[in-house]
């Protein structure tokens, strides 16, 4: 059974582990090894998740399956922290590689849509950025109702610059 809940600082270490394993696997053919090592440093990631969890601008969710932490999702509600927000940025969704293609990512997206869908709102808009070369993630988001906005930006990883593309889902 999959459960998604608000993360607490006691989750930071395990979220850092899941994030780092997933991140390294996802980007191994896209980003150089030095940048991957920097981005997946467990001590740095744990402190980062502590910061996010304690920062009121972010909502961090722990994704569990059978009481094991298997994923992390970070969102920024753009016009209200609570579920009344109608504009959301999905900052991160990382699932442990052992659980890829098991439906957990789709479950997380569905959870997010249902959490923020407000009957009084005309629409709910979720946006995110994904590296252009991350075809697997792009296909995943398209399968889950997101569309490519054809808006691009550059993201720096150490000395490398990689192109990202924005995706949106409007409900």
Query: pLDDT (tens digit, 9 = 90+) per residue, 105-115?
Result: 999 999 999 88
DSSP state of 23: H
Using left for φ > 0, alpha for ψ between -120 and 50, and beta otherwise, residue 123 falls in beta
pLDDT band, residue 84 (cuts 50/70/90): low
CATH class of 2-170: alpha beta
Contact 20, 44 (CB under 8 A): no
pLDDT value of position 77: 85
pLDDT digits (tens, 9 = 90+) for 29-53: 999 999 999 999 999 999 999 999 9
Candidates 111, 104, 145; CA nearest to 128 is 145
Q: How confident is the model at residue 159 (pLDDT cuts 50, 70, 90)?
A: confident
- Residue 80 pLDDT class (50, 70, 90 cuts): low
Q: In this model, does residue 133 exceed pLDDT 90? A: yes
Task: Give the C-alpha separation, 70 to 17, whole Å.
Answer: 10
Domain boundaries of the chain, sorted by first residue: 2-170
In the predicted model, is pLDDT for residue 72 greater than 80? yes
Flag whether the pTM goes above 0.85: yes
- Please give the Cα distance from 79 to 76 (Å, whole number): 9
> With bands split at pLDDT 50, 70 and 90, how would you rate the model's confidence at 123?
confident
């Amino acid at each position: 059974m999959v459960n998604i809940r608000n993360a607490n600082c006691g989750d930071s270490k395990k979220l850092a582990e899941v994030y780092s394993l997933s991140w390294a696997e996802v980007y191994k053919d896209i980003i150089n090894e030095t940048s991957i090592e920097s981005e997946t440093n467990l001590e740095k990631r744990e402190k980062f998740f502590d910061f996010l969890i304690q920062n009121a601008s972010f909502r961090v969710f722990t994704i569990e399956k059978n009481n094991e932490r298997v994923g992390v999702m970070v969102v920024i509600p753009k016009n209200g922290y609570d579920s009344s927000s109608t504009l959301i940025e999905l900052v991160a969704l990382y699932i442990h590689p052992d659980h890829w293609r098991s439906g957990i990512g789709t479950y997380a997206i569905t959870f997010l849509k249902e959490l923020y869908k407000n009957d009084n709102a005309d629409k709910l808009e979720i946006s995110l950025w994904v590296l252009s070369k991350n075809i697997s993630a792009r296909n995943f988001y398209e399968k889950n109702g997101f569309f490519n906005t054809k808006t691009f930006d550059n993201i720096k990883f150490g000395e490398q610059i990689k192109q990202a593309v924005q995706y949106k889902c409007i409900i």
